[in-house]
Chain A
Amino acid sequence: MSAACAKFLWESLPTVLSCGMGSGTSSTRLLERGVLKDRVRAFVDGRSSEGFEELILDVHAFQKSANPAYAAFCAASPNATHWTEIPAVPQQAFKNTELRSFPEEETQRIFHTSGTTGEGVGRHFFRDLDLYQTVALAGWKAARLPDKVDIALLPHPSEVPHSSLSQMAAWLADPSAFLVRDGALDAAALARLIGEANNPIVVFGTALAFLHAIETATPGSLTLPPGSRVVETGGYKGSGREVPRGELYRLFTEHFGIPPGAIVNEYGMTELSSQFYSEGPSGAHRGGGWIRARILDPGTGKDVEDGESGVLQLYDLANIDSVCAVLTRDLATRDGDVFHLLGRDPLAVPRGCSRAADEMLARS
């Protein structure tokens, strides 16, 4: 469907967007969702004359009409007239609420968070994955990465159907490229695939998997052909390990034989559909035009000034099936329209002698 056609269809629909929750039938909302999705896809593909602001306000209005939990949350806020006014759900809301903007019985796929923070498992419900695939591939391309992943240090989605990361990798790599099987890295296959590579390749995986690869490899066996790229997603998933980014990239440079600028960080989360990418140890994170970031002062909720740090709040047009505005648990430093990720806010431990109950609960 062309953008023009989509827009016409949209305008001809009996709108339910301003009617609030409960208005419109399920089938009307379904049609509405389909039209919105087409508009977003057209925007992502560069075929649309619509602006991000206009689109996301419509996505937000649709979600308010289709998602009772979100509608209840929004009821305390005035109607959003600017994208920055869209109420953002806290990331942890995905853990205790089914944030679904479509009928439950139409759920096609559910992705789960790792559940390593001790707060339970978050779930992101999808009615279909085509828009997710569109933005995942478009974001990858916008990061100027080659079309294909040659080695994925991840399990295949057939083994971990609830992993959004593996699903994303499956759109970029052949099934044989997935080298984590039954929870273990196939180090021999990794060395073999690297040894057979004559042209630049792309290796994609979690930071923890890369560390395992480095620790189990024989010296020199991981050296990649010149021009290769390493894409790491961060994440140590309950391993108790955490290697500073600079140190991690030094290890990558040493073992994979690539310059720091050839190392890319992919920043995404189960609760979102789109991703951000950064190059090198100090590169800023950038996303496609369909996802925007705000860095907020946690005390006031206002945007921080350039160069200042705060809490990362994201607005993802592709999150049509859940909620487009998400308050993350990550901290970042603002750099114009991009940001430098500082990492997960470690549930702040009070500095005084009042013991953190979390710590005690964890021990008891």
Chain B
Amino acid sequence: MNTLQRAEYLAAAAAAFPILGPISAEDLMDVVRRELGHAEVLDGFARYGSHHTRAIAPESIVHIVSGNTPHAALQSVIRGLLLGSKNRVKIPSSGLPELSRFVEQLPLELRQRVEISPTVGDRWYAEAGAAIAYGSDETIARIRSRVPANTPFQAHPHRLSFGVVFDDPAGESATACARDAALYDQMGCLSLRCVYVREVERGFARHYAKILAAAMEPVCAAEKAPVRTLEEAAAILHLRSGYRFRAASDRSVALWESAGSDAWTVIYEDDPWFPSSAANRVVFVKPLPGDLALAVRPVISWIAAIGIFPATLENAETLTAIGPSRVCPLGSMQFPPWTWHQEGLQTLAGLVRWVDFEAPQAANSPEFKRP
């Protein structure tokens, strides 16, 4: 089965999983083309300057995935299958039904390239041509210590994301913001946690928070109600009650919350400092400060994406120095393109090795130039 056939089967299977967003065989082939330089370079030699080269996929890839963000697990396995590798996937002990269902959609030849287990033995690591791990810094450090030193290792540590509204006097981006915060109960590294709003006039950010609160209700109602632990629910309660108390006599903060439930919370705060909060659909709104880098300094090393409105190149340029690996329109934060440089790096290119073939050079070859 060549790369294009694999891409077609994978896209067909992925179509049954809305959490992956729209995905076509061409999208997947585009990733191969852009990252590896040639769409068929995994299937055979392709021209590469004055000679030829071929990408060799790892025989097997070990994936250590999280249960709470199944889309990330599926994306990881899809990339491994696109390369043609065997994929050994360590899932959480609580299971990952989405992955099993996805694999069932695949033809036998690809199904046989996926092995799923809640445990991972040293043999998996020893035989791995590459390893990919999602998790906390501690989890990743533990896994890294088990992977042989010369095995390519991709780490996807926890990250966080936020939004910037540069110019939106009508608050038309609020529903997009709400979607970015609500999906996956705000637990994804691409979930919007806070939105900085440029004050076109004094008090506009607070006004935007109110609009966002109104948008949260229908957006959250349309999503599956999250199941929260007692500790998570208690954290929301404490956060809300703390801000509710402050808001009673402090105009610099305001609180909007879902009635009779902890479905969503919007907090406005004058202080631009990046908020420390639980996730679970708690969104902070703050005025965009003159020095955003200073406001987000405590978390600057962990920023994944910044959703913006309006999404213009000029606005994106103002944010690149802060260090995200992705700037995108608000409303699409949870659906990165397959070509996204996650962690600021290429995802496929880091997994393959290369073998070059140098054909006898002809004097009239277009790539050949005598010094």
Contact = CB atoms under 8 A, between A and B. Distances in A.
A352 B188 contact: yes
Contact of A353 (B159, B230, B242): B159
B245 A97 contact: yes
B69 A350 contact: no
Contacts of B275: 357
B134 A298 contact: no
Contacts of A76: 244, 248
Nearest to B262: A299
Contacts of B246: 93, 96-97
Nearest to A74: B248
A348 interface: yes
A355 B235 contact: no
Interface string B157-178: 1111100000000000000000
A353 B231 contact: no
B100 interface: no
Contact of B187 (A97, A311, A327, A350): A350
A22 B313 CA distance: 56
B298 A353 contact: no
A34 B156 CA distance: 62
Given A90-B238, A299-B261, A331 B231 contact: yes
Contacts of B157: 355
B249 A353 contact: no
A147 to B, nearest CB: 38
A352 B231 contact: no
A27 interface: no
Contact of A331 (B135, B184, B230): B230
Given A348-B235, A353-B189, A357-B193, A299 B66 contact: no
B191 interface: yes
Interface string B225-259: 00011111111111001101110110000000000
B276 A354 contact: no
A345 B261 CA distance: 19
B330 to A, nearest CB: 17
Contacts of B276: 356-358, 361
B69 A353 contact: yes
Nearest to A304: B230
Contact of B231 (A296, A327, A345): A345
B292 to A, nearest CB: 16
A331 B234 contact: yes
A347 B248 contact: no
Interface string B314-350: 0000000000000000000000000000000000000
A356 B299 CA distance: 10
A357 B299 contact: yes
A350 B249 contact: no
A348 B229 contact: yes
Interface stretch (A65-73, A132-140, A279-287): A65-73
A199 interface: no
A309 B234 CA distance: 11
A137 to B, nearest CB: 32
Interface stretch (B42-50, B142-150, B277-285): B277-285
Interface in B49-84: 66, 68-69, 72
Interface residues of A, number: 41
A351 B233 CA distance: 13
B234 A311 contact: yes
Interface string A75-96: 1100000000000111011001
Nearest to B278: A348
Given A352-B279, A361-B298, A309 B230 contact: yes
B159 A350 contact: no
A354 B68 CA distance: 10
B17 interface: no
Contact of A298 (B233, B244, B274): B233
B185 interface: yes
B302 interface: yes
B3 interface: no
A205 interface: no
A358 B104 CA distance: 40
Given A92-B242, A353-B68, A355-B302, A347 B235 contact: yes
B87 interface: no
Interface string B270-301: 00001111111000000000000000011101
Contacts of B193: 354, 357
Contacts of A357: 160, 193, 274-277, 298-299
B190 to A, nearest CB: 8
Contacts of A331: 230-231, 234
Contacts of B85: none
B260 interface: yes
A345 B229 CA distance: 11
A251 to B, nearest CB: 27
Contact of B189 (A90, A351, A354): A354
A69 to B, nearest CB: 5
Contact of A346 (B159, B231, B236): B231
Interface string A314-358: 000000000000010101000000000000011110111111111
A300 B263 CA distance: 10
A155 interface: no
A352 B187 contact: yes
Contact of A360 (B134, B188, B299): B299
A357 B189 CA distance: 12
A63 to B, nearest CB: 14
A345 B188 CA distance: 23
A89 B191 CA distance: 31
Given A331-B230, A354-B188, A358-B276, A90 B249 contact: no
Given A92-B238, A331-B234, A361-B276, A354 B248 contact: no
B160 A355 contact: yes
Contact of A354 (B156, B186, B230, B242): B186
17 contacts: A68-B249, A72-B248, A73-B244, A89-B245, A97-B246, A97-B249, A298-B234, A299-B237, A345-B238, A348-B232, A351-B68, A352-B185, A353-B134, A356-B276, A357-B193, A358-B277, A360-B301
Given A352-B191, A353-B158, 15 more contacts: A73-B248, A92-B238, A92-B242, A296-B237, A297-B233, A299-B233, A300-B261, A345-B238, A350-B280, A352-B66, A352-B188, A353-B72, A356-B278, A357-B274, A361-B276
Pairs of residues from A and B, 10 with the lowest C-beta to C-beta distance, nearest first: A352-B187, A355-B158, A348-B235, A298-B233, A298-B237, A350-B279, A90-B241, A348-B231, A72-B249, A72-B248
